[in-house]
């Protein structure tokens, strides 16, 4: 009986430790200045997604600049140019704004946290309405994406339910360095969505640095977001 009790306590401690390493704390990023990620399609670099971190008084802000272009025989088939600002106060997302040009089409998100109602108010190009405050913005700087049940599109404001499963512990070569990572699979739970609208990502996470180092998915080719550089405050 005692052995079973000790085993239960040990499992509980391990579970809490693992969860605490993944659970979001903007404080994890307080010493960061920038995360740079290169974007690849079928092994060819086509653009970038860079995150800039600012702390001013009690506001933590993350600015993202993303741009890529797909060409075949010199003809542009697909492109995105996007900029956004994500603001947190006491670890709570209070504001998110983005503007995106996707294939000459404008997309946007304007989100704010209504403290009186304890919900998000979203005005987006694909969704307008209220959302639970436990939703996260689907950006790759934030490891909370691995513990959330749903995410808000940073391009259009649409909300998608998700599930995340741990695959394995692995070693990756990132910019000439061997990194020990946790491999996760993130997928949409709504199978009624059109295939090109579903979430279906492989994510590699460095728990020592609290950084997602690689993201991979397939959609008209193999796409990868791979960590290029991290800059810290002096």
Can you read off the two tokens belonging to residue 47? 């653009």
Which residue in this structure is represented by tokens 């709570």?
92
Which residue in this structure is represented by tokens 């008084």?
57
Domain count within the chain: 1
pLDDT of residue 80: 96
- What is the DSSP code string of 159-175? EEEEEEEEEEEEEEEET
Tell me the pTM: 0.87
Sequence-ordered strand ranges (E) for 24-135: 32-41, 44-56, 59-72, 75-89, 92-102, 105-114, 119-124, 128-132
pLDDT of residue 151: 96
Weakly modelled stretches of the chain, pLDDT under 70? 1-25
| Other CB atoms within 10 Å distance of the CB of residue 138 | 21
Domain of 223: which CATH number?
2.50.20
| Other CB atoms within 10 Å distance of the CB of residue 82 | 19
Question: Dihedral angle at the C-alpha atoms of 201, 142, 190, 181, nearest 10 degrees?
Answer: 40
| Residue 50 structural domain | 2-232
């Amino acid at each position: 009986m005692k052995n079973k009790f000790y085993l239960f306590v040990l499992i509980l401690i391990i579970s809490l430790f693992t969860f605490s390493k993944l659970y979001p704390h903007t404080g994890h990023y307080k010493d960061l200045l920038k995360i740079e990620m290169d974007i690849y399609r079928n092994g060819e670099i086509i653009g970038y997604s860079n995150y800039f971190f600012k702390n001013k008084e009690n506001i933590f802000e993350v600015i993202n600049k993303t741009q890529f272009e797909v060409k075949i025989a010199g003809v542009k088939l697909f492109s995105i140019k996007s900029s956004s600002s994500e603001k947190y106060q006491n670890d709570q997302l209070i504001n998110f704004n983005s503007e995106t040009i996707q294939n000459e089409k404008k997309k946007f998100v304007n989100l704010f946290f209504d403290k009186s109602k304890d919900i998000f108010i979203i005005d987006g190009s694909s969704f307008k309405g209220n959302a639970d405050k436990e939703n996260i913005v689907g950006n790759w700087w934030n490891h909370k994406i691995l513990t959330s049940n749903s995410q808000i599109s940073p391009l259009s404001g649409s909300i998608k339910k998700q599930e995340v499963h741990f695959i394995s512990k692995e070693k990756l070569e990132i910019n000439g360095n061997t990194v020990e990572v946790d491999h996760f699979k993130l997928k949409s739970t709504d199978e009624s969505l059109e295939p090109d609208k579903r979430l279906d990502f492989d994510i590699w996470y460095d728990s020592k640095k609290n950084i997602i180092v690689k993201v991979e998915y397939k959609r008209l080719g193999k796409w990868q977001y791979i960590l290029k550089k991290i800059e810290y405050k002096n």
